[in-house]
Every structure is written in structure tokens, then in C-alpha cells.
Amino acid sequence: MDYTELDHLRGKDPIVAKIYERLITEVRKFGPVGIEPKKTSIHLVNRFGFAGVYTRKEYINLEVHLNRKLTGKRVAKVEQASANRYHHTIRLSDPKEVDKELLTWLREAYELKK
């Protein structure tokens, strides 16, 4: 089955679509972004998947893939995916949380080489 962005937004609180729209608008400013809806998430792709969007009823869990470990109270979870890749989960419950700090992390992830 092919999944769409709308499949991930259907049945969610309207704030989830607002957060998602702001997120996509901002990351597209970096350059071309592939949007690949999967069964459980929406992958954001440049040369490889640099982030994943996991929609929930009233918020989004954004997973940002970096080659370093982020620290800070915004980072809900960190998983080491490989020797030099960390997946960071950041909970977004308001479009205003797509801010300069988050976009700095996303740009860094977007620009990473394999």
C-alpha cells in the first residue's frame, strides 16, 4: 500500500497539520527535500533520510539524524543508530517550536554526508 502525507494527518488534532506545514515550509528553504510517506512515519530525504516525522493525536515526534549527540531538555530520546549516527526525538506540540534552534539541527542533518 502506498501512504500519503494526508494518511498521517487524518484524524489528528488540527495543530498537528499546522506543525507539519510549518516544518515542511522551513526545511524546503534548505534546498530540495524528498518527502516519503511510509507506514509509520514520513521520511524527509536529501541524499539520505535526515529526519522522520511521526504524527500523534495532538503532537509530532520529530526524529533528527545527526553524526553527534544532542543534549538539552527538548531532546526526548537519543538512539545511537550506527558508529557515527544518532537519532534524536524531539516532541513538537506547537508550530512555534519549529524555531531557530530546531532548524539549525535540521539544516545540519540535511547537509550531512553519508
Domain ranges of the chain: 5-111
Please state the pTM of the whole predicted model: 0.95
58, 93 contact by CB (below 8 A): yes
64, 109 contact by CB (below 8 A): yes
Length of the chain: 114
Cell of 1: 500500500
pLDDT in tens, 26-74: 999 999 999 999 999 999 999 889 999 999 999 999 999 999 999 889 9
Domain 5-111, CATH number (from 3.10.180, 3.30.1460, 3.30.70, 3.30.1380):
3.30.1460
- The percent of residues above 70 in pLDDT, for the chain, comes to 99
3-state secondary structure of 42: strand
Calculate the average pLDDT of the chain. 96
